[in-house]
Structure 1
């Protein structure tokens, strides 16, 4: 990974963007101030589908200063996990202490400061804007904020990140891609929980029934009006229930359909079934629209995903 020694420290870049070339600055560039000693650290980059990742291991204390740049896509965020050592992260007027097992959210587009005591192990993932941008835009106050760690969903995400960091060297491309999808899905859950609690009392029970109804009818034409009528509520109230969870009813239906399609495409027993027939079975009947949705969600075309999934399954068998 390219580094450049400067009078005020060491410029480090290309640890998340592994295609970076020497002298070509990338969106992940940071300035490491190393108290006069040459900066030394071991960096192991990984890919989890659309998510770039890197584990950084060092023995000496470091102070990291961001170099905000317009080349960082608007909405892109970072999620870090401190595996060993102590430190703190500062952004958006908040300063959060870091202990082993803590994850933290921040943005490379805005100024931040990070300090780590040595020795340390720091696992970092870049979350593309397409994955959770809308939720970051509506939630607010989650960067450099330890309060988010109190959420039950955040504890589950922490355990997932710890295990991913342990197992990353042995993961194949398809497994890594699928785990990246799980991380972004779990992060969506954390962000929703951080901003909007479940509806109280009857509202929670009603929402649970509606979610079950949607799962049972994914292959049908699911319109807000018909779903609302089936549960004796107005379409306006139905939309409000979902908005309280940080998503629209259309987004929920689309994501559930894509999840089922992805599972079927990876099933060797269904390898003879055309891709579009599987998509149509789950309610996505327009081939062009379905292909765009699938690629946007998973970063790969449906046919490429099926080929990778089935070839890997066949090799394992």
Structure 2
């Protein structure tokens, strides 16, 4: 039988510290710091952070000074569970009400204000895990994502389940849950971008189509700039220009997405029976030395250490589950 541990209530000073420990550096203020009551339940797996926040009235700001001090670029998706608040970013603001979904970006200033007791659930994802043009995603910040239906309904249901027990992501299937969380959120953002007014920009729309094509053909050995360009009836020169406009290079993007797919599978205990190179070969890497070198350059560790860490986590989680 599993017993959920409820975090103790925090006073304002303790809550302010907990907020900064759970997210990126933020300025937390309150017109009513005494009495104040709040708690945060936080869990993390494979860079995906989940936080269940409950508190009385306060305000949160991500200021230019705090951004300059720590330039950690993440995308945050919040789901309001109870109470109401307001999110402001990029000249837009949206009402946070029960059931709503919203997105904000830690690389630019934003603010959140809650005028009473509330609960919300926040997913924080490294920006480089969002497989979409971030300049396009910036059009969705502080916008009412929950009105679109479709993917939004799926994401809302999934996040409600995670909010009921964020610690699930640290368990035996945590890596798969973290991956599913990112993929569902990216699906939601893709749906929103498809209906956004900016989608009328043919150049941006073409770039998004190219990114989707790359994702769908990552395993193919001939996925090079010439092949990608031909598949979209454009010249390689235009393809390179599209990527340059979005701060990327074609070959670098393809390699990174393949490496990310390898990392996800190396971190999955269910695939521990497969060799490192059999997984790497699935994603176009045929030279062990080259694969190890580019993997370390991308993630700061060797492929084998990713696997060892994942197996150790799994063993520890399984041992705790039987205590």
TM-score (norm: length of structure 2): 0.68
State whether residues 87 and 110 of structure 2, in contact with CA within 8 Å, keep that contact through their aligned partners in structure 1.
no
Partner of 2:35: 38
State whether residues 221 and 283 of structure 1, in contact with CA within 8 Å, keep that contact through their aligned partners in structure 2.
no
Secondary structure of the residue aligned to 1:117 is coil
One of 2, 14, 21 as aligned partner of 2:18: 14
The Cα of 1:103 is off from its aligned counterpart by: 1.9
Secondary structure of the residue aligned to 2:95 is strand
Secondary structure of the residue aligned to 1:190 is helix
Partner of 2:217: 214
For the pair 1:255 / 2:257, whether they are aligned, the reply is yes
d(CA) in 2 for partners of 1:140 and 1:131? 15
One of 137, 156, 175 as aligned partner of 1:158: 156
d(CA) in 1 for partners of 2:60 and 2:215? 47
1:4–1:259 Cα change, 3 Å: same
Structure 2: gaps (5+ residues): 1-8
One of 122, 126, 129 as aligned partner of 1:128: 126
Q: How does 1:279-290 map to 2 (within 5 A)?
A: 279-284=280-285, 285=287, 286=290, 287-290=292-295
Partner of 2:3: none
State whether residues 44 and 169 of structure 2, in contact with CA within 8 Å, keep that contact through their aligned partners in structure 1.
no
TM-score (norm: length of structure 1): 0.69
Secondary structure of the residue aligned to 1:17 is helix
Partner of 1:114: 113
Partner of 2:177: 179
What is the Cα-based RMSD across aligned positions, in Å? 4.4
Secondary structure of the residue aligned to 2:133 is helix
Q: How does 1:205-284 map to 2 (within 5 A)?
A: 214=217, 218=219, 220-227=221-228, 233-236=233-236, 239=239, 250=251, 251=253, 254-255=256-257, 258-259=260-261, 262-263=264-265, 266=268, 271=273, 273=275, 275-284=276-285
State whether residues 268 and 310 of structure 1, in contact with CA within 8 Å, keep that contact through their aligned partners in structure 2.
no
d(CA) in 2 for partners of 1:192 and 1:97? 22
1:86–1:232 Cα change, 3 Å: closer
Structure 1: gaps (5+ residues): 19-25
d(CA) in 1 for partners of 2:92 and 2:132? 22
Partner of 2:138: 140
Partner of 2:58: 63
